A and B are shown apart, each in its own frame.
Chain A
Amino acid sequence: MAAMLRWLGQAIIYAGMALWLGYFANRPVYTHLPPDQALIKLSVVHGAKRKGECRRRTKEELEAMNPNMRTPLDCPRERLPIRLQILLGGAVLYDASVTAAGLAHGGTTRVYQRFAIDAGRYELVARMVDSARTEGYDFERAGIIELSPGENFVIDFRAEAGGFLFDGRSVTYIP
């Protein structure tokens, strides 16, 4: 009888362990994004203009340098900060001035942001200043977008492709 009870007890313990493992292996379900929302991702990796102008080295300066170091131009390492502005439906979604990476701020500027937005139709405007200008923008793009629930909408930036790219299911660029 005692042995029977012991076997029964073991079966209960093993069943409890199985329930524990089986349930928490994929339950409860986690809601990462409400079902009526979409996600806008802003991702920019871009090198802004140098803070100062390049200067041509004199002949004397070049001769004083090691032969393998004799580059004719002396360019300052530090880059300007990038000013980035995103407007969605006329409201500011993101507006920041971001410094370049690196101790001397000589690297690229990197921005990665996520915004959970209610699904729907919006006017989207993306602007960037990567130079020393004080008025206007170096890059600007606008479009009408239709965000569907659960959509992953990307605002990408590729200078070689002309600037901002809107990657989503329904995008109509405004010229």
Chain B
Amino acid sequence: MSYVKRVLRMMFAWLEAGLDRIFTPACNPLYHLGALGFLYYWVVAATGIYLFIFFDTGITEAYGSIESITYEQWYIGGVMRSLHRYASDGMIAMMMVHMLREFALDRYRGARWFTWFTGLPILWMVYAAGISGYWMVWDMLAQYIAIATTEWLDWLPIVGGTIARNFLNPERLDDRFFTLMVFMHIFVPLFLLFVLWIHLQRVAKPTINPPRLLAGGTLLMLLVLSVVKPAESQPPANLDLVPSQVGLDWFYLPAYPLMDMLGNGAVWALVAFGTLLFAVLPWLPPLRRARQKTAVVDLANCNGCTRCAADCPYAAIEMGRRTDGRPFDRQAVVSPDLCVACGICVGACPTAMPFRRASELIPGIDLPDMPIRDLRERIHEAAAELTGDARIMVFGCDHGYDAAKLAVPEVAVLRLPCIGMLPPAFVDYVLSRDLAEGIVLAGCSEGECHNRYGVRWTSDRLARARDPMLRQRVPRERIETVWAPPVEGWTLRRRIAAFAGRLRKLAETDTGDRPGKAAE
């Protein structure tokens, strides 16, 4: 399992790196798979409403009405139908890649189990909605699917083994069947929306709309495809004949040939096993190394400022009523079940101030396994080892490129669980105390932080757009940020080398009174 995951992770890392260059990190489709799934859903819903206006429910009427939509008003109805089909397929494609990627990046365990687990009913419902949609056309494909599905359901002893008899010959089929199908095809997607809402309950600030450029490109692609290759029906259903050859939609219907090849019982076993495996995957080995201890609040230093709660990407921090009698309204309360120990809350805490001398460096919120006090000590140790005229201190994250490989006498590397854990005051501290000439902050790709908002919050803090802000006095030219996928070691190496060159040039003109340094 670990090997498979490693291979998948590398595959995604390379793909992401390539797509970063083509689409830019902000519009990389691999960073917006869930949002693209939503976009496809809305296209399916909107086109479905239009198609339903013209759809007739009935054994003979259904096929005729869809033919009329497709050919008599091809310029809109036909395009709507094609968009409906291709967007449905796109939804499956996005869902599958999204699922595979979350698996590869290990984002389905620990605090993230809930989101993974609630993906399971979504998977089932999307398939149920899609398959019931194919029935409604009542062409040869619909006939094949209807019979195969009912035979498959009949295999279960509890069903009674009589549903497939409805399709023995034309006399047995009545219009009520279409009423049932229409109900299913409308009700399931509506209910799906509710389940999607549940799916996102443990995701703070979820992104459900892709960037406009990506959405526009996707819609244009669907439109061009719909015009170039319109969706069409197969010959009308005829229960006197067997649909010998059918053009299958392989996104929705790959299980059907398996029913012919392996039998209905085997497909039930596969489906049951697959569902069970999906459901229990978050708790299966290989288990994570001893789980990091979750963030803890130190009330003596917490003033209830709410920044940690606002920045937590997992909604693991809530502001509760004050319990220690100090004159603040609220206090941070960490939910250990939701916390992944990324440390972003520590980076947001205004009391994580390395300049503190009067009291011990204990912030309002901290990671017990990597207290911010230790980080200050590590900085001093690393600085003591640095030599040269362009000393650089690199703060890397656990999920980007392993910057430790770049450590040389002029470059010290300190790793954090997430770059968002670094309070901006530490940048100020390193430069003002002359512990290095420059600082590099290296994290995941700009569009895709492993911890969702680590890169974004850090960029905003440095740009003084989000609290806690980097102090004005800190010379910006001595800070370099490198947001790159983990496979792009060369980018980091190149940027550090260029940064060192710039620092040397600065040294030539530097009077020794850097703003921060002077202030200290």
Contacts from A to B (Cβ < 8 Å): 6, 9-10, 13-15, 17-18, 20-22, 24-35, 37-39, 41, 43, 45, 101, 110, 112, 114, 149-152, 154, 156, 167, 169
Contact = CB atoms under 8 A, between A and B. Distances in A.
A2 to B, nearest CB: 9
B162 A150 contact: no
B151 interface: yes
A24 B86 contact: no
B208 interface: no
A29 B93 contact: no
Contacts of B217: 10, 14
Contacts of A26: 247-249
Contacts of B160: 101, 110
B86 A30 contact: no
A35 B86 contact: no
Contacts of B251: 21, 24-25
25 contacts: A6-B22, A9-B21, A9-B22, A13-B29, A14-B217, A15-B221, A24-B89, A24-B249, A25-B86, A25-B89, A25-B249, A27-B247, A30-B246, A32-B245, A32-B260, A33-B244, A35-B245, A43-B168, A101-B160, A101-B161, A110-B162, A112-B165, A149-B244, A152-B169, A167-B169
State the 3 A-B residue pairs at the shortest beta-carbon distance, nearest first: A26-B247, A9-B22, A110-B161
B447 to A, nearest CB: 15
Contacts of B229: 22
A26 B182 CA distance: 22
Given A20-B93, A22-B86, A27-B250, 4 more contacts: A25-B250, A43-B164, A45-B161, A156-B168
Contacts, number: 121
Interface of B: 19, 21-24, 29, 85-86, 89-90, 93, 144, 151, 154, 157, 160-162, 164-165, 168-169, 217-218, 220-222, 224-225, 228-229, 231, 239-251, 256-257, 260
A38 B242 contact: yes
B244 A31 contact: yes
B242 A39 contact: yes
Contact of A30 (B151, B168, B220, B256): B256
Contacts of A27: 247, 250
Contacts of A15: 221
Given A25-B85, A25-B89, A112-B154, A43 B245 contact: no
A112 B151 contact: yes
A167 B239 CA distance: 11
A85 to B, nearest CB: 20
Contacts of B169: 152, 154, 156, 167
Contacts of A37: 244
Contact of A151 (B144, B241, B247): B241
